[in-house]
């Protein structure tokens, strides 16, 4: 008998789960329906940086998950046959203000790279060497280059994954749905029952699970970034990402597209209004290294809502006492990096194929319920 699977939420977690549910052995016995509203989606508002190795965070589970997520990307890109519009491994440059901190970062990077093949090679760069790799900058700080770092266009990436899955067993329904107390799904066409459901509703997960009497400990955070258009001379192809200490990240895409991001506005919550203040602040931060930028080059401001847990760590797994409902959320500011591995593990679990010990990556879901 064909198994009916529902996914609520079509961001990076839901889309990756949908892709693997259409791709793994067992998919021929499975029909997947994905419900997505799309409003405020963090994935399509994200800067797109995949480079967790030199983060200042010290949460071991988060690091193991983010490392596994970054490792999964090249495999996923090959399996889903995604092109450079969706994913580019052009490396990242992480800077430090003081020479002492830079040397410390470099040594840390070398040590990590020894047992982390996905990092690629690590190079210490002077200010001039940074500028050579990023000719659009003037007088940048010195930094550490990690060749395995990558960038994605979140909207494009997710669209492609879903498009691939639609070719086999995925049906997408673009609407907001809600749950009954029993976990059935209320759609515009009435009540629908599924064998298993994945809830990947990002910052909205608390609201999604409330009808089941479950209160997730998740809070929303507003994030904004700006898209700019550069002249072609200033924008060679395949430039690395710049992650300057204490400032906004600079993400150059091909054909003169530049992204500067992002804000972290706790008090903004679910607000989706783009603000002039944020756009100006992001532009000013970038102008420290790109004095020639001006506000006329801004082509758009993107706004999305991140989901945070109390320990700033993502969680995923089956709901306690509701084994047919799986959740994946609380991805915070690095969810493009951790999202695919979460979607992958959830899909494996649906097919009963997960041999991975999830505790290395996440605390039990119960810890994130009030
Ligand atoms: C400005 C910004 C910059 C960022 N930059 C980076 C970065 O450079 N690198 C990185 O790793 N991470 C980054 N992140 C974080 C990353 O984008 C998120 O953590 C990640 O995308 C979350 O994915 P998700 O699938 O959990 O949720 P989302 O992408 O938010 O998707 C959830 C989806 O569920 C839908 N939904 C909610 N409720 C319902 C319902 N009842 N019915 C139907 N659909 C529903 C929503 O509309 C949405 O489409 C950034 C985030 C922001 C906002």
Ligand 1 mutation target, pool 252, 335, 337, most atoms within 8 A of CB:
335
- In this structure, which residue's CA is closest to atom 33 in ligand 1? 9
* Residue 234 pLDDT greater than 70, yes or no: no
6: CA distance to ligand 1 center in Å? 18
Residue with the nearest Cα to atom 51 of ligand 1? 46
State the distance from the centre of ligand 1 to the C-alpha of 306, rounded, in angstroms: 6
Indicate the pairing of strand 143-146 with strand 92-95: antiparallel
The band of 241, judged by pLDDT with boundaries at 50, 70 and 90, is very high
- 41 Cα to the center of ligand 1, angstroms: 5
Residue 331's pLDDT is what?
98
**Residue whose structure tokens are 């290395």:** 360
Strand positions, DSSP E, 138-296: 143-146, 150-152, 170-173, 178-179, 185-187, 190-192, 196-199, 219-229, 241-243, 249-252, 257-261
For ligand 1, residues with CB inside 6 Å are 8-14, 35-43, 45-49, 176-178, 200-204, 208, 223, 225, 261-262, 304, 306, 329, 331-337, 339
Instruction: Kindly report the backbone phi and psi dihedral angles of residue 95, in degrees, each rounded to the nearest multiple of 5, phi listed first.
Output: -105, 160
Give the closest residue (by CA) to ligand 1 atom 40. 176
- Cα(43) to centroid of ligand 1, in Å? 4
Residue whose CB lies within 8 A of the most ligand 1 atoms, among 13, 39, 40, 43, for a mutation test: 43
Instruction: Considering only residues 357 and 231, tell me which one the structure prediction assigns the higher pLDDT.
Output: 357
Reply yes or no on whether the pLDDT at 82 is more than 90.
yes
Alpha carbon of 97 to ligand 1 centroid (Å):
31
pLDDT score, position 356:
83
The pLDDT value given to residue 152: 97
For the cut 90, the answer to whether the pLDDT of residue 81 exceeds it is yes
Spacing, Cα 56 to ligand 1 middle (Å): 22
Question: DSSP assignment, residue 360?
Answer: G
- Beta strand 170-173 with 30-35 is parallel
Give 353's pLDDT tier (boundaries 50, 70, 90).
confident
Pocket test for ligand 1, best of 6, 8, 9, 188 (most atoms within 8 A of CB): 9
The answer to whether 197 and 6 are in contact (CB under 8 A) is: yes
Q: For residues 134 and 138, what is the distance between their CA atoms, to the nearest angstrom?
A: 9
Nearest residue (by CA) to ligand 1, atom 19, is: 335
Pairing of strands 87-88, 298-308: unpaired
Bridge partners of 178, per DSSP, are 186
Nearest CA to ligand 1 atom 22: 335
212 CB neighbour count, 10 Å cutoff: 16
Domains in the chain, CATH or no CATH each: 3-44+155-218+311-368 (3.50.50.60), 92-148+219-308 (3.30.9.10)
Q: Is the pLDDT of residue 227 over 80?
A: yes
What tens digit of pLDDT does each residue of 170-184 get?
A: 999 999 999 999 999
Average pLDDT over residues 247-274: 96
pLDDT of residue 255: 87
**What confidence score (pLDDT) does residue 233 get?**
66
| pLDDT, position 1 | 86
* Span of 26-35, 82-91, 232-241, 346-355 with lowest mean pLDDT: 232-241
Position 17 confidence tier, pLDDT thresholds 50, 70, 90:
very high
> 124: CA distance to ligand 1 center in Å?
33
Residue nearest atom 4 in ligand 1 by C-alpha distance:
46
Residue ID of nearest Cα to ligand 1 atom 16: 335
List, in sequence order, every residue forming a beta bridge with 171; answer none if it has no partner.
33
pLDDT beyond 90 at 232:
no
What's the rounded mean pLDDT across residues 51-64? 95
**Could you tell me which of 127, 128, 131, 155 has the C-alpha nearest to residue 141?**
127
* pLDDT tens for each residue of 278-306: 999 999 999 999 998 999 999 999 999 99
User: Looking at residues 143-156, what average pLDDT do you find?
Assistant: 97
Residue 31 Cα distances to 18, 22, 247, 308, angstroms: 10, 9, 45, 31
Mean pLDDT (the chain) is 96
Contact 21, 32 (CB under 8 A): yes
Query: What is the C-alpha separation between 134 and 114, in angstroms, rounded?
Result: 26
Q: Is the pLDDT of residue 236 over 90?
A: no
Give the H or E element holding residue 5. Answer: strand 3-8
What is the predicted pLDDT for the residue at 64? Answer: 97
Q: Are strands 178-179 and 185-187 parallel, antiparallel or unpaired?
A: antiparallel
Specify the pLDDT at position 342: 98
Checking if the pLDDT of 273 tops 80, the result is: yes
How is residue 190 written in tokens?
Answer: 């009435």
Give the residue-averaged pLDDT of 200-214. 98
């Amino acid at each position: 008998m064909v198994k009916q699977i529902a996914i609520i939420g079509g961001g990076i977690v839901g889309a990756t789960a949908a892709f693997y549910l259409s791709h793994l052995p067992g998919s021929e016995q499975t029909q997947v329906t994905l419900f997505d509203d799309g409003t405020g989606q963090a994935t399509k508002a994200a800067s797109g940086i995949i480079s967790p190795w030199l983060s200042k965070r010290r949460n071991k589970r988060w690091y193991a998950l983010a490392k596994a997520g970054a490792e999964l990307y090249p495999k996923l890109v090959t399996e889903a046959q995604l092109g450079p519009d969706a994913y580019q491994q052009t490396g990242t440059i992480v800077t430090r203000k003081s020479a002492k901190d830079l040397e410390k970062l470099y040594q840390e990077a070398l040590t990590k790279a020894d047992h982390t093949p996905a990092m690629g090679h690590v190079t210490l760069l002077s200010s001039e060497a940074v500028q050579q790799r990023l000719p659009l900058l003037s007088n940048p700080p010195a930094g550490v280059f990690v060749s395995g770092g990558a960038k994605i266009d979140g909207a494009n990436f997710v669209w492609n994954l879903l498009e691939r899955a639609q070719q086999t067993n995925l049906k997408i329904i673009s609407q907001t749905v809600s749950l009954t107390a029993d976990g059935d799904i209320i759609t515009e066409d009435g009540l629908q029952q599924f064998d298993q459901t994945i809830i990947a509703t990002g910052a909205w997960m608390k609201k999604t699970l409330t009808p089941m009497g479950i209160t997730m400990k998740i809070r929303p955070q507003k994030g904004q970034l700006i898209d700019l258009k550069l002249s072609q001379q200033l924008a060679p192809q395949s430039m690395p990402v710049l992650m300057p200490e204490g400032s906004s990240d600079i993400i150059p895409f091909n054909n003169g597209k530049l992204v500067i991001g992002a804000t972290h506005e706790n008090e903004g919550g679910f607000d989706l209004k783009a603000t002039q203040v944020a756009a100006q602040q992001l532009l000013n931060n970038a102008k420290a290294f790109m004095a020639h930028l001006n506000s006329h080059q801004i082509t758009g401001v993107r706004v999305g809502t991140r989901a945070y847990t109390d320990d700033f760590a993502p969680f995923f797994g089956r709901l306690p006492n509701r084994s047919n409902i799986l959740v994946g959320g609380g991805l915070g500011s690095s969810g493009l990096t951790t999202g695919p591995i979460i979607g992958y593990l959830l899909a494996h679990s649906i097919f009963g194929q997960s041999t991975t010990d999830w505790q290395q990556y996440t605390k039990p879901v119960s810890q994130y319920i009030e």
